[in-house]
Amino acid sequence: MIEAIIFAITIVLPNLALMGLGFFMQRRGEASQVFIDQASSFVFNYCLPCLLFFSVVDSEVDYAKQITLIVAGIVVTFILFVGAELYAKRFVSRPIDQGVFVQGVFRSNMAIIGLATVANAYGERGLSIGAVYMGVVTILFNILAVITLSRVSKNIDDTWVSRSVMISKKLFTNPLILALLAAFTYKALMLPPLTGVVHKTGDLLAAVALPLALICAGASIDLKSMLHPSGLSMQASIGRIVIAPIVAIAVGLSFGLSGVHMGVLFLMVASPTAAASYVMAKAMGGNDVLAANILAFTTVVGMFGMAIGAAMLRVLALI
């Protein structure tokens, strides 16, 4: 039991410490909104793509063996999406809230908190597996997010064709997906290993990615939103923090996952609501205040949920 608790603290505490640093910097006026926006853009467009690309290119992981994990992740996503949709149609009255609620439940922060926690738990091997998982499930996240948020559109030009174009643009201009596609292509062509200046530069950018992203996440925390959540945001947060991890464990067991694969599935699914959920909700006319409340509450509280869940799974020898 002690070992399981130490394991949980080890994988979560570094992330909380960096987020705490970001929050401290914000309170001291050392991390303005301009800094957060620019640093987040830098991480998303340059650092994270390097991290994902070199994690895949340098790894010796057999990606054919990750199919079961990826299918399990897709099943979990659909269960959460459909369940949240049914709940929203029955209990959430305003269309402007429904899509935001649904997105808050099914869409997790895999690219930052998920990957960082997996890296803390399993090192380079876990990071490589997590990067592949994230690349596939991110595509599904974007498609489902556009579908659920499109219900509030009042624009006559907003059709399924225009939405399909929007999804395509988001996918094929997403630096993370492009980096993963480039890495898979590089490995498939069996090109010589990248060395020297190119690899060293990539390593330096990759090393910046997760720490800076977590600092920005901490600096973005709004205590007022976090401490005064609405009833609806609390319901969505329970779906993300409690229901989603339980579904992940159930699906993982049904697919026969264990060890690092069960760990990656749990940590990716149990991560807080994705920061991109707020951006997309605002862009598509959803209730951005509700989205911000869900994001703030799950970002902090969800980390403790991940620690508790990881400790329990460790005791049961499932991860």
pLDDT tens-digit readout, 215-265: 887 887 777 766 666 688 899 999 999 999 999 999 999 999 989 999 999
Q: Which of 186, 210, 190 has the alpha carbon at shortest distance from 198? A: 186
Q: Is the pLDDT of residue 46 over 70?
A: yes
Top mean pLDDT of 115-124, 239-248, 289-298 is at 239-248
The pLDDT value recorded for residue 269 is: 96
Mean pLDDT of the 142-170 span: 70
Check if the beta carbon of residue 226 is closer than 8 Å to that of residue 59: no
Question: Is 76 within 8 Å of 141 (Cβ atoms)?
Answer: no
141 closest CA partner among 275, 50, 255, 301 = 275
**pLDDT classification of 9: cutoffs 50, 70, 90:** confident
**Rounded mean pLDDT of 66-87?**
95
pTM of the model: 0.81
Give the chain's domain count: 1
Distances (CA, A) of 94 to 97, 102, 162, 254, 277: 5, 13, 24, 36, 18
CA distance 265 to 224: 32
Query: Residue 133: which domain range?
Result: 2-315
CATH number, position 108: 1.20.1530.20
